[in-house]
Chain A
Amino acid sequence: MKVLTVCGLGQGTSLILKMNVEQALADKGISAEVEHTDVSTASTMEADYIITSNELAEGLVGHRAKVFIVNNYFDMEEINKAIDENVVS
């Protein structure tokens, strides 16, 4: 399974989200490759899932991956819930 975490520049916030998403997936025993990148690169990349903020999700409409949103990047509960609702393992 390939997961992208996406932010505007692919430098800071997507990396923070990646750390917490990796943690959440590992806790659930889901094995996945998580990469962080910026919106425009993400639109040309193959992935099963893309996790990003509400603000950037509209830039990814039409992507083959399933795109879902996390509002609070530091809330493990929200991240866990978003994964449970969207990721089919």
Chain B
Amino acid sequence: MRFLEESIVKVGVEAANVEGAIEAAGELLLKEGYIEKSYIEAMKYSYKENGPYFVLAPSIAIPHARPEDGVNEASVSLVQLKDPIVFGHASNDPVRLVFGLGASSSEEHITLLRKLTGLLNDPMNVEKLATAGTYEEIKKIVEMGRS
């Protein structure tokens, strides 16, 4: 289980569009071997098919696909966008934080989502994550949210 570790968090990422933002969050998980390339394709396909419903809250997108699309380890990455991107959501655009969710069918999946929910239920944390300049700052926010 991998949750917002240094190797899967990137600050100030430039992405041209929604697909680029999803790819960036997926690439972080791919280069560590937590997902397969097919999973990134499935995340983008889901966006095309189901629309931007995974923009769960103002500024926050959580692209994901199904475990069978190619997940090796339950994981959550973070891409903090340099410039906000419009995903086409009715009330939560534009997106500043993209959490790539490697969804597994294990108990770890639920643990990860609990951690993520605990972190993001506090709007102060969202603002801090969106404006953090370094991984160290993000790490502090993540660790405080763990209590």
Contacts and interface: CB of A to CB of B under 8 A. Distances in A.
Do A and B make up one complex? yes
Interface of A: 7-9, 11-13, 15-16, 19-20, 39, 52-56, 71-76
A8 B91 contact: no
Contacts of B60: 74
B86 interface: no
Contact of A55 (B50, B109, B113, B121): B50
Nearest to A70: B56
Contacts of A76: 121
A54 to B, nearest CB: 5
Contact of B57 (A7, A56, A72): A72
Contacts of A54: 90-91
Interface of A is mostly: mixed
B56 A73 contact: yes
A52 to B, nearest CB: 8
Given A19-B113, A55-B89, A71-B90, A12 B121 contact: no
